[in-house]
Structure 1
Amino acid sequence: MAKASGMSKAAVSLILNNKEGARLSAEAKERVREVAKGLGYRPNAAAQSLRSGKTRTLGFISDQVTVTRFASEMITGILRAAEARDHTVLIAETFGKPDQIAEAITQMTDRDVDGLILGFMDSRQRDLKIPHTGLPTVLVNGIDDSPCTAVLPNERESGARAVQRVVESGARTVAVIGELANAEKDPRTYPSISRRFSSLRGALAETKLEVLGHWVLDDWNPTDGYEATTQLLAEGHSPDAIICANDRVAMGVFQALAEQGLTPGNDLSVLSFDDEIIARYLRPQLSSIRLPYEEMGSLAVELLLDGNLKPGEHQIDMPLIERDSMMAH
């Protein structure tokens, strides 16, 4: 390679190992890298690890993210950000069993990863009892009882954004379907959900909208949304807009409306949260405020690799994805 590039062996070594040389020009570096690429050269990762004390490998431990469609974009964000920084990611799945997290952390430590990302499908307050490994660690979509660096969706603004969009649609009356019973009983355990609905209630109080009811559900499934909407309509309410807790609830809302001959986007507005893939397959397509899983995963990688690990929350904005279920003003 030295002969092919017209450079000394020492200079080639400096360039390929990303070490600075006082007399190495940008043109020389580019020439050596082009020759290396043409020859199919790949650096010896093990040797580089021994020299630097880094494996350029991150560990991602999931509590169900890898086995459900709901938060899989988190993995996309992590993998893309790691690749952009020339890092590899090892993935472990705990299948929602909290007692397996400590074991997974130990296994990742044994494999000499440079840092850990713990990713959760549901944004909850947790007591992880993370083993002390000295490894830099970031939590995604969850927070721990102990001080930690966490990446979360900005739910404090999402509820207010939903109300603003409903007002812009020209609605005068609104129903809110899907406040979660467990979150109402224990807001601290469900920080994101509690922030979402606290923001929503606060924003509604500042408008002239008539609120026809806050419908509290035991779960966020289509059946729950269907039953709540059926009861809402049976009681004689005719809201100009319905705000749903998430897209699965909205699916049930759509079904109940259809049985009464009502079409979202024509007869009333329906707005939701999360922007799961089903939002695009409903007819009409559902407007939804997106959970930014991919961006949260990407930021976690950046925080790890940049050493920005002060305890606290890093919040990612939740964009409103406009589709057809909202009335035009």
Structure 2
Amino acid sequence: MPPQRATLLQVAQRAGVSRSTASFVLAGRHLDMRISEDARQRVLRAAQELDYRPNLMARSLRTKVTRTIALVSDTLASDPYAGKAINGALAAAVAHGHLLFIGETEGDPVVEEKLIADFLDRQVDAFVYASMFTRYVRIPKQLKGHPVVLLNCLTKGAEPVQHQIIPDELAAGYSAAVTVLEAGHRGDIHLVGSPDEHVFAGRERLAGIREGLRAAGARLAGTVACDWWPDSAYEAVRASLEAGLSPRALICLNDRIALGAYQALREAGRRIPEDVSVVSFDDSDLAAWLRPQLTSISLPHYQLGWQAVEKLLGPPSDPAVLRLPMPVRHRASMAKPPVR
């Protein structure tokens, strides 16, 4: 049988003060209640000796505040890489003295409805509504009237009614273009990947790439279309090289595409970066594992999670879309173009 928890009354009796005095001290209100330093020290010492912990359930019933928040996502929590957003959210919650509940729906609306209902039954104070991929969403009706921040997703509409935290994919595309240009490339720059108009990241990355190149009077020489997976990228790049494509720089829409491109280039006898420079997006573990290591624009997963909770629990501010910077991780896959 577990030992009984010490009560506030026991702390007060050991310290030789009233129960209300002990309560004020442990709540940090000793100054405004004009409690002497001697009494405060006796209460703190008694609480430590008795290993006193406040009854949070009782406190929440009195205050209607549970100091808990819930993060509801589709598949964010189960992805090892994107899960860094969970780490950021957890750290921010702890910094604010809150517990973070995490629930995953796998995109099933029935599961989502049940999950949110369970969290509401537990009287969580606020919600982070998250998505694995940046996309537009409809906030569940159950969350109406509750504090909500969107993590890696957006709502359509002229003015946001919640804070919406997303990576700045447009600026990331621009950074990719600048990275290629600063290495000295002006021509034979090819995009690898299919920028589906319905995929937010692809659409914004491509727009940023074109804008960055255009600002320097350059442009993409072409696109090697493929799915965003290594095998598709390998087949597409291999076929393009066999057909006579001779790129000087490849901008891959993600690291998985870059992996496939690496394999195709190596089989064709093209050296990276001596013959072909490669830059990519995401800065997943693949980027550091590849040889040579891959220059990649980083998705700020940890910062996304941190900022979502910070906006939820921090000082009040007007709802807005917050785009977080995606830094360039410079590695060995970029070099000056070869002399031809």
TM-score category of the 2 structures, normalised to the smaller one: 0.7 to 0.9
* CA deviations over 1:234-281 (Å, ceiling 9, x no partner): 232322211100011111011011102223233321111011112121
1:63 equivalent in alignment to 2:74: yes
Bigger mean CA offset, 64-73 vs 74-83: 64-73
Structure-2 change in CA distance of 1:236 and 1:314 (3 Å): same
> Is the partner of 2:135 in helix, strand or coil?
strand
Distance 1:253 1:89 in 2: 40
Structure-2 change in CA distance of 1:216 and 1:260 (3 Å): closer
Counterparts of 1:179-198 in structure 2, within 5 Å, are 179-181=194-196, 183=197, 186=198, 190-198=199-207
Report what 2:125 is aligned to. 114
* CA deviations over 1:291-322 (Å, ceiling 9, x no partner): 11111111111111136464431111111112
Distance 1:326 1:82 in 2: 39
TM-score, structure 2 normalization: 0.85
Report what 2:7 is aligned to. none
C-alpha displacement at 1:171, in angstroms? 1.7
Residues 77 and 296 in structure 1, CA contact (< 8 A), matched pair in contact too: yes
1:162 equivalent in alignment to 2:179: no
Residues 212 and 237 in structure 1, CA contact (< 8 A), matched pair in contact too: no
**1:21 pairs with one of 31, 37, 41:** 31
Bigger mean CA offset, 222-231 vs 20-29: 20-29
Report what 2:185 is aligned to. 171
Counterparts of 1:224-303 in structure 2, within 5 Å, are 224-303=232-311
**1:138 pairs with one of 132, 143, 149:** 149
> Is the partner of 2:275 in helix, strand or coil?
coil
Identity %: 36
Residues 195 and 206 in structure 2, CA contact (< 8 A), matched pair in contact too: no
Aligned length: 322
C-alpha displacement at 1:39, in angstroms? 4.2
Distance 1:29 1:199 in 2: 59
> Is the partner of 2:264 in helix, strand or coil?
helix
Structure-2 change in CA distance of 1:8 and 1:249 (3 Å): same
**1:203 pairs with one of 199, 204, 212:** 212
Report what 2:8 is aligned to. none
Distance 1:126 1:284 in 2: 38
Distance 1:30 1:231 in 2: 77
> Is the partner of 1:59 in helix, strand or coil?
strand
Report what 2:221 is aligned to. 212
Distance 2:24 2:118 in 1: 34
Structure-2 change in CA distance of 1:26 and 1:113 (3 Å): farther
Residues 82 and 88 in structure 1, CA contact (< 8 A), matched pair in contact too: yes
> Is the partner of 1:131 in helix, strand or coil?
helix
1:306 equivalent in alignment to 2:306: no
> Is the partner of 1:272 in helix, strand or coil?
strand
Residues 70 and 127 in structure 2, CA contact (< 8 A), matched pair in contact too: yes
> Is the partner of 1:91 in helix, strand or coil?
strand
Indicate the structure (1 or 2) with the bigger Cα radius of gyration: 2
Distance 1:242 1:38 in 2: 65
C-alpha displacement at 1:132, in angstroms? 4.5
Distance 1:127 1:179 in 2: 26
Aligned-residue Cα RMSD (Å) equals 2.6
1:126 equivalent in alignment to 2:137: yes
> Is the partner of 1:65 in helix, strand or coil?
coil
**2:59 pairs with one of 9, 34, 48:** 48
> Is the partner of 2:193 in helix, strand or coil?
strand
Structure-2 change in CA distance of 1:32 and 1:212 (3 Å): farther
> Is the partner of 2:216 in helix, strand or coil?
coil
Distance 2:40 2:275 in 1: 65
Report what 2:325 is aligned to. 317
> Is the partner of 2:190 in helix, strand or coil?
strand
* CA deviations over 1:176-210 (Å, ceiling 9, x no partner): 111323x2xx4xxx334322211111111222445
* CA deviations over 1:130-165 (Å, ceiling 9, x no partner): 325421111111113464431100112111111111
Distance 1:243 1:51 in 2: 57
Q: Which has the higher strand share?
A: 1
